[in-house]
Amino acid sequence: MTNLSPTEYKVALITQALDMAHDSYARHFNQMSTLREWTVTLLLGYLGFLVTIKSTNLLTILPFAFVLLLFMYLEAGSRARMSALRIEMGEIEQIFMEMDAAKFTQLVQQFEFRSVKDAKIPKFGIRDRLLRFKYVFLLEVVTWYLSELLIVVAAYLAIWFRII
């Protein structure tokens, strides 16, 4: 094993942190994709249920709407974590793009790992969860889940007007 200076050792750890951030980002993206795949599966199952029972009661849409809201909240959590990871990856990449050796060393010494940053942030419980809601209302998220809800509403209206 080679003897590394503290700065070289920290550079190696920062490089590993960047790799872990990329892996974590990819994992959250895959989780989000899986979540959306499940919404399509549930949508098709619920459409089959609506067509089978041929209910004209508007309340039959509420369980699916509740599931969509739950999935929107779960996706917002993934998006919040992905946003934090993008910021962290950007900070690390800025360090490695520094050309001046003295400035690079200074940035490496000042760098704080995610666990250190997280320990400094006070946890408020419900406040942290409520902050996710800003990600719920992203246009992409709203469009995806509203389109699924509109498909269910269209099926309900088709049943109500006796088209199906």
The pLDDT tens digits for 73-130 are: 899 989 989 999 999 999 999 999 999 999 999 999 999 998 888 888 777 667 777 7
The pLDDT tens digits for 4-54 are: 899 999 999 999 999 999 999 999 999 999 999 999 999 999 999 988 998
With residues binned 3-state (H G I as helix, E B as strand, rest as coil), the percentages for the chain, rounded to 5, are 85, 0, 15
Q: Are 52 and 160 in contact (CB under 8 A)?
A: no
Number of neighbours of residue 70 by Cβ within 10 angstroms: 10
Residue 140 buriedness (CB in 10 A; 0-12 / 13-18 / 19+): exposed
Kindly report the pTM of this predicted structure: 0.82
Domain boundary assignment for the chain: 6-160
| Residue 117 half-sphere exposure toward CB, CA atoms < 13 A | 10
